[in-house]
Amino acid sequence: MGIEKLKTVLKNKNRSLTLKTPIISASGTYGYSDEYEDFIDLNCFGAISTKGITLEKRLGNDGDRIFEVKGGMINRIGLENVGIEKFIETKLPILRKKKIDFLLNIAGSTSQDYEKLALIAQKNNIEAIEVNVSCPNVKSGCLEFGLNPNSLYDLTSKIRKNYDGFLIVKLSPNTSDIKALATAVEEAGADCISAINTLRGLGIKLDWVGKKFIKKSVQGGLSGACIKPVALYMVNQIKEAVKIPIIAMGGIEKLQDLFEFISVGADAFQIGTANFINPSICSNLAKELNEFMIKNEIKDFEELKEVIKND
């Protein structure tokens, strides 16, 4: 498939990240490396954002972890992962051997966790990291840093000192002022923002059994098509506050969604929940976007962005 039109360059000052396409699979919805290879054409990906990686192996949360709701799902996985050492030993070689572009998604419980992870990424010449400061499904870390502009500035600054590559910070929508968070990230040296992560949500199911109700509930992160209006609002707010690139996510399922996010400031996209419905969604969207640009004689992705923003 010829996808030359979809080449995307995310630029900030002296750093840039070149993607084959603007379509990225969101963290936690793809895996670590080549898990979807049997279903999709990996050449259609700009990158994959790996499953969130912590310093030590994590087993994740007990009990039910997924709850389906209208237009989406609630998850409380709890950052289950193999840990950075195992990732470097077993997953990174696969990514490099198969030349799969990726963002290393990192998460921690303390500032020191993030600093150590950034240093490990630096030592292993990892081109781009995505800092998760917005997962609502863990008891410590993440949101503790991600909802306070001062804490977020401090954390991002420390990560920046340990890491020279392309630094992306993933912001939470669970705030009353995402502009302040975005500004803090930019001033601290981040090269790019990805947004939004999941919204806090509660799913409840009541079954009438034996003349009484049996209640089942899952509290965690809400994602899927139902959060798209929130995501559009938040991306628009971020664009008004910063000049660094934005990778948008939140309910993207079809070509029209890409256009809508471009219109509010997106420079690239992450696809999350839709991967569980259709494992080929990322490659399909890349092909549809490429075909639209050919049909309408649009030279490249940069021109497409200008066409949409000027209309």
Q: Which residues form the catalytic set?
A: 135
Which of 19, 6, 12 lies closest to 186 in space, CA to CA? 12
- CA gyration radius for the chain? 19
Strands 102-106 and 47-49: parallel
Alpha-carbon torsion, ordered 137, 140, 141, 143, to 10 deg:
50
Question: Distance between CA atoms of 134 and 77, rounded to whole angstroms?
Answer: 14
Which of 266, 264, 257, 255 lies closest to 289 in space, CA to CA? 255
145 within 8 A of 133, measured Cβ to Cβ? yes
DSSP designation for 53:
B
Strands 47-49 and 23-25: parallel
Residue with tokens 């051997």: 97
Could you tell me what percentage of the chain is helix, strand and coil, using 3-state DSSP and rounding each to the nearest 5? 35, 25, 40
Token pair of 112 as six digits: 């020191």
Strands 102-106 and 192-195: unpaired
